[in-house]
């Protein structure tokens, strides 16, 4: 059986994005308590309801539903740049715009990306202070997912956003995982969002929706973003299923984020004492963290498939090689899916994964 087949058929999965957790639930199960009203090309109904809810939650004048974060962030940065005498956008080297979108900001909007700082750590104020050219916008991702979902301290975050404002640049939040970041700061979502001119939030990541996102900010920017959504081909005839799913997530999943952070901290502490396993960051700052295993990526992939075939459990999706060929970073997200595992079982599975990989690696 191929890896995709194993992934799709395992009874249990630690993947937050596995088919067991992405499959649509029944209308009664998913939307039973929500009044479903359709939109027409994004006007009215559940789409308007979720836009209003996000705007209130973030205390922004307005919000607009977007089908993808790729679209939402490019549009926000295009608008900010058009209002300034610069096309330069500053971001972390592992920013989604830089690494995952085929440089669309450059090809579609003539923006210039300016990565700042090191791939292996958060952006620091000293990195920004070294920039001498005019800047249209600073993009900050909370949390910085690709380095273990790390977060800057609150004083550092305020200092960086202040730097941008004093320079005359806009400040945009890549808040795809803002829901997971908020418990770390222990401040209302609105207080975090107040540091930024525009905020993008996802509905399918921590909230478990089927897709979609929102861009929130000043009313004039949001209205212009609606025009750009049409220009991008993002205005669908009916978007209400995505919006209703988002409302469900905001109602039922968002309140669980603080307890999920506690679960992640507890699980990470158990994993960190295992031989050959390191947790990054330690302790986790969000319900997302990295588990570094002293085995090669290829050996871990084969061990994962063996575990899937023998134990009917899928242990991880995302993993990355490290500078050391026999060490691998695995991303672990703590969400609703961990309820399917008994106390101590996840640690035991990682222990077995490492043992199976050792046998595979020695061949």
The dihedral region occupied by 277, where left means phi > 0, alpha psi between -120 and 50, and beta the remainder, is beta
Proportion of the chain above pLDDT 90, given as a percent? 84
Phi, psi of 26 (to 5 degrees): -65, 160
Contacts of 68 (CB under 8 A, 6+ apart): 211, 212, 213, 234
Instruction: Check pLDDT > 60 for residue 31.
Output: no
> CATH top-level class for 34-252?
alpha beta
Tens digits of residue pLDDT in 283-313? 999 999 999 999 999 999 999 999 999 999 9
Residue 27 — very low, low, confident or very high, per pLDDT cuts 50/70/90?
very low
Instruction: Check pLDDT > 60 for residue 20.
Output: no
Query: What's the average model confidence in pLDDT over 25-34?
Result: 50
Q: Are 66 and 214 in contact (CB under 8 A)?
A: yes
**Does CATH number 3.40.630.30 belong to domain 3-20+256-361?**
no
Residue 155: CB atoms within 10 Å: 9
Alpha-carbon span 143 to 180, nearest angstrom: 8
| Residue 336: half-sphere exposure toward Cβ, Cα within 13 Å | 15
Determine how β-strand 313-314 pairs with β-strand 12-13.
Answer: parallel
Q: Are 114 and 91 in contact (CB under 8 A)?
A: yes
At 240 the pLDDT is 92
Alpha-carbon span 49 to 249, nearest angstrom: 13
Tens digits of residue pLDDT in 61-78? 999 999 999 999 999 999
- Two tokens, residue 206: 């921590």
At 28 the pLDDT is 42
Contacts of 316 (CB under 8 A, 6+ apart): 14, 15, 304, 330, 331, 332
Instruction: Check pLDDT > 50 for residue 26.
Output: no
Helix (H, G, I), strand (E, B) or coil at 145: helix
For residue 99, list its beta bridge partners.
none
Q: Are 265 and 284 in contact (CB under 8 A)?
A: yes
Domain boundaries, the chain: 3-20+256-361, 34-252
As a whole number of Å, the end-to-end CA separation of the chain is: 21
Residue 141 gets which letter from DSSP? E
Pick from 268, 295, 270: nearest CA to 355: 295
Say what the pTM is. 0.93
The distance from CA 43 to its chain's CA centroid, rounded to whole angstroms, is 27
Return the H-helix or E-strand segment holding 23. Answer: none
Alpha-carbon span 80 to 69, nearest angstrom: 16
Q: Are 58 and 199 in contact (CB under 8 A)?
A: yes
At 345 the pLDDT is 97
- Two tokens, residue 329: 């970073």
Residue 53 gets which letter from DSSP? H
Query: What's the average model confidence in pLDDT over 217-223?
Result: 98
Q: Are 270 and 344 in contact (CB under 8 A)?
A: yes
């Amino acid at each position: 059986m191929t890896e995709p087949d194993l992934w799709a058929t395992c009874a249990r999965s630690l993947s937050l994005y596995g088919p067991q957790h992405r499959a649509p639930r029944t209308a009664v199960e998913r939307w039973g308590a929500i009044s479903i009203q359709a939109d027409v090309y994004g006007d009215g109904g559940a789409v308007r309801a979720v836009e209003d809810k996000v705007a209130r939650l973030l205390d922004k004048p307005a919000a607009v539903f977007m089908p993808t974060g790729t679209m939402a962030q490019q549009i926000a940065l295009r608008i900010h740049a058009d209002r300034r005498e610069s096309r330069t956008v500053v971001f972390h080297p592992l920013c989604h715009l830089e690494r995952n979108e085929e440089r669309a900001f450059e090809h579609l909007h003539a923006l210039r990306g300016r990565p700042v700082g090191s791939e292996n750590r958060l952006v620091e104020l000293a990195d920004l202070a070294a920039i001498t050219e005019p800047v249209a916008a600073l993009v900050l991702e909370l949390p910085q997912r690709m380095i273990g979902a790390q977060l800057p301290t609150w004083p550092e975050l305020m200092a960086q956003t202040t730097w941008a404002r004093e320079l005359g640049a806009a400040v945009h939040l890549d808040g795809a995982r803002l829901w997971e970041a908020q418990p770390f700061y222990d401040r209302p979502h609105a207080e975090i969002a107040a540091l930024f001119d525009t905020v993008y939030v996802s509905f399918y990541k921590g909230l478990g929706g089927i897709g979609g996102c929102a861009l929130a900010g000043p009313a004039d920017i949001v209205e212009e973003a609606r025009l750009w959504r049409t220009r991008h081909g993002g205005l669908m005839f009916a978007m209400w299923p995505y919006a209703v799913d988002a409302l469900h997530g905001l109602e039922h999943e968002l309140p669980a984020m603080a307890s999920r952070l506690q679960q992640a901290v507890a699980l990470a502490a158990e994993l960190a004492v295992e031989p050959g396993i390191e947790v990054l960051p330690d302790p986790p700052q969000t319900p997302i963290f990295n588990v570094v295993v002293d085995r090669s990526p290829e050996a871990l992939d084969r061990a994962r498939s063996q575990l899937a075939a023998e134990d009917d459990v899928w242990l991880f999706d995302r993993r990355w090689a490290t500078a050391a060929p026999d060490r691998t970073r695995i991303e672990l997200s703590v969400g609703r899916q961990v309820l399917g595992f008994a106390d101590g079982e996840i640690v035991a599975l990682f222990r077995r994964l490492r043992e199976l990989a050792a046998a595979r690696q020695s061949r």
